Chains A and B, each alone.
Chain A
Amino acid sequence: MEKQRKITLAILIMLVLISIIAVVDISTRVEKKRSLQAGLNMMATGPGVAIVRIDGPIELTGPAGFMGRPSGAEAVVKRLADIEKDSNIKAVIIRINSPGGTVAATQEIYHKIISMRKKNITFVASMGDIAASGGYYIASACNYIVANYGTITGSIGVIAYSPNLKNLMDKFGIKMNVIKSGKYKDILATHRDMSSEERALLQEMIDLSYHKFVSDIALGRNMNQNDIYPVADGRVMSTQTALKYKLIDQLGTFDEAISKAKELAGLDADAPVYEEHLSPLNEIFSSMNSLFTGRIFESRFVDTSNRIEYRYMQ
């Protein structure tokens, strides 16, 4: 009996010891890995270049991400504000792959870049597939613009649109009941023709936004507005044409844009590049968010709102 109890006690002690050994073993491995990662991270510190990505149509607030994570122009401005606080960031690459977007959202980003330029942070725009209209507006705020050979750019102009469904509704006998406080309250209504007064009112708004667009390009690019107006008729253009009209500074790739940013900011060629990283959890939930809401298609195929936009209509 005594022996049997001692054996049981020995088993219990063995279990406790093994658990302690296992914990120490795992802790040692964790610490080894941590020190290795710390060693790798050491290489990625110090003055460097940050990357900010602008993808897709620009809106002030995009679909809310996991745990209320902001997206859209607000997220870009927030990322820029974070970069502004980081003394290690001497230059920023704005990687643009966008056909433009709403006026307010575009101007939010433009003005944030201009204000940061005043604090001696160098901005280089790198254009992807498309950087037209509002996409180009944002690029023009940068000190230097590098565009890919195949990039579609230009489309300097403003657009507002709404479908006229009057005939269709008449055909189906649908009539709208409109109770409004003023004669322009249902401007851009789809159930009737637009009046000449309404058209003039909207045209004035469009013109104001358009002149603001051109004057901001001139400010950002340090150009004369009169040199911009001849090509600011809404046309899209190849980057070779854009280079000819000095709307961009260089033809090149994303890597060449990074090198240029380092050069302009006086950084070493091996200076670190700081990408924006999502936590794995956020990445999973961001992709699931699009999957469940169908918003991956929304911006391309569904657009029912009436807005004034700096946007290239594809």
Chain B
Amino acid sequence: MNIETLRELAWTDYFFYAIVSPRELYRRIKQHDSGMLQLSFTVPVMAAFFDVVALSLNGTESGFFYHKISYGWLLFLFILLLKIVVYSALIDSSAQFFGCSGNIKDTVSLVNFAMFPGLMFLPLFYIISIAGIAPGFFYIFLPFLFFCWYLIILTLGVSEMHSIQSGRALALIFAPALVAGTLLFFTFIIFVFSLVGFIAG
């Protein structure tokens, strides 16, 4: 992606369609423009940073903020990238399991761009925290809304990707989430037992 391409602003279409038309977003992804995959990763980079800033807005002011915004951001980003890769792979495997064709590269791009509306959380939460309108409540409630939006984009995008019904696309998305959730639950249980053992040891 050179300067000329940047000036044309065609790359902004991905972000625009992520908000207004997920099906159109996937059609754009399918064109495989040069630099599209790299561009999609700007969303998780920003999302990790915004998450840290929102977390700091909700917490108490201390010098630890500088650690959060530097090392914390890198840690959040690393975890987020890991989640994206693992989750995209699971969606792709799930799609193949249900008889659809695999397309991991496009799935990763779709998962990345689907997170874009979630970036609006920071400006909204910033206003709420300045105004002091139940920030604790909105810190939980708004991400839930944005998560629903994320799911809608992902569902419509996957539906478009595999030319299947939205309901089936939703099942494709939820199947790996269910597997990942079960695994996480058991990992958590093992972690708690290990922690208790470590402290008691």
Taking a contact as CB atoms under 8 Å apart, the answer to whether B15 and A12 are in contact is yes
Which B123-175 residues have C-beta < 8 A from chain A? 123, 126
Taking a contact as CB atoms under 8 Å apart, the answer to whether A14 and B65 are in contact is no
Taking a contact as CB atoms under 8 Å apart, the answer to whether B69 and A18 are in contact is no
Q: Give chain A's interface secondary structure class.
A: helix
Assembly CA distance A12 to B116 (angstroms): 10
Taking a contact as CB atoms under 8 Å apart, the answer to whether A18 and B123 are in contact is yes
Which A13-29 residues have C-beta < 8 A from chain B? 14-16, 18-19, 21-23, 26-27, 29
Q: Give chain B's interface secondary structure class.
A: helix
Supposing A26-B61, A29-B61 touch, asked if A285 and B46 sit within 8 A by C-beta, the answer is no
Supposing A14-B123, A15-B46, A30-B65 touch, asked if A22 and B57 sit within 8 A by C-beta, the answer is yes
Determine whether B76 belongs to the interface, using a CB cutoff of 8 Å to chain A.
no
Smallest Cβ-Cβ distance to A9: which chain B residue: B12
A3 CB to nearest chain B CB (Å): 11
- Contact mask for chain B residues 49-93; partner A; CB cutoff 8 A; 1 contact, 0 none: 110010011000111011001000000000000000000000000
A27 CB to nearest chain B CB (Å): 7
Taking a contact as CB atoms under 8 Å apart, the answer to whether B15 and A33 are in contact is no
Contact of B122 among A8, A11, A19, A293 (CB under 8 A): A19
Determine whether A4 belongs to the interface, using a CB cutoff of 8 Å to chain B.
yes
Determine whether B200 belongs to the interface, using a CB cutoff of 8 Å to chain A.
yes
Residues of B within 8 A of A27 (CB): 65-66
Count class of interface residues, chain A: 20 to 34
Taking a contact as CB atoms under 8 Å apart, the answer to whether A11 and B15 are in contact is yes
Q: Total interface residues on B, using CB and 8 Å?
A: 26
Assembly CA distance A59 to B62 (angstroms): 38
Assembly CA distance A21 to B123 (angstroms): 10
Determine whether B3 belongs to the interface, using a CB cutoff of 8 Å to chain A.
no
Residues of A within 8 A of B56 (CB): 26
Residues of B within 8 A of A78 (CB): none
Taking a contact as CB atoms under 8 Å apart, the answer to whether A15 and B9 are in contact is no
Contact of A30 among B10, B62, B120 (CB under 8 A): B62
Smallest Cβ-Cβ distance to A64: which chain B residue: B201
A223 CB to nearest chain B CB (Å): 47
B20 CB to nearest chain A CB (Å): 9
Residues of A within 8 A of B178 (CB): none
Smallest Cβ-Cβ distance to B59: which chain A residue: A26
A-B CB pair tally, cutoff 8 Å: 69
Supposing A23-B69, A26-B57, A30-B63 touch, asked if A15 and B123 sit within 8 A by C-beta, the answer is yes
Residues of B within 8 A of A22 (CB): 53, 57, 122, 126
Assembly CA distance A34 to B10 (angstroms): 46
Assembly CA distance A12 to B9 (angstroms): 12
A29 CB to nearest chain B CB (Å): 4
Determine whether A5 belongs to the interface, using a CB cutoff of 8 Å to chain B.
yes
B121 CB to nearest chain A CB (Å): 10
Determine whether A6 belongs to the interface, using a CB cutoff of 8 Å to chain B.
yes
A253 CB to nearest chain B CB (Å): 35
Supposing A8-B15, A15-B122 touch, asked if A288 and B199 sit within 8 A by C-beta, the answer is yes
- Contact mask for chain B residues 37-56; partner A; CB cutoff 8 A; 1 contact, 0 none: 00000000010011001001
Taking a contact as CB atoms under 8 Å apart, the answer to whether A18 and B126 are in contact is yes
Residues of B within 8 A of A2 (CB): 9
Taking a contact as CB atoms under 8 Å apart, the answer to whether A8 and B57 are in contact is no
Assembly CA distance A226 to B46 (angstroms): 80
A195 CB to nearest chain B CB (Å): 41
Contact of A292 among B62, B69, B200 (CB under 8 A): B200
Supposing A22-B57, A285-B199 touch, asked if A15 and B10 sit within 8 A by C-beta, the answer is no
Smallest Cβ-Cβ distance to B10: which chain A residue: A5
Q: Which 10 A-B pairs have the closest CB atoms?
A: A8-B12, A5-B9, A292-B200, A8-B16, A29-B61, A5-B12, A30-B61, A18-B123, A33-B61, A22-B53
Please give 20 more A-B residue pairs, beta carbons under 8 A apart, in addition to A30-B63, A66-B199.
A5-B9, A5-B10, A8-B12, A8-B13, A9-B9, A11-B15, A15-B50, A15-B123, A16-B46, A18-B122, A19-B49, A19-B122, A22-B122, A23-B53, A26-B57, A27-B66, A29-B61, A34-B63, A285-B199, A289-B199
Write 14 A-B pairs (CB below 8 A) sorted by A numbering: A4-B16, A5-B12, A5-B13, A8-B15, A9-B12, A11-B15, A15-B120, A16-B46, A19-B46, A22-B126, A26-B56, A30-B62, A33-B62, A288-B199
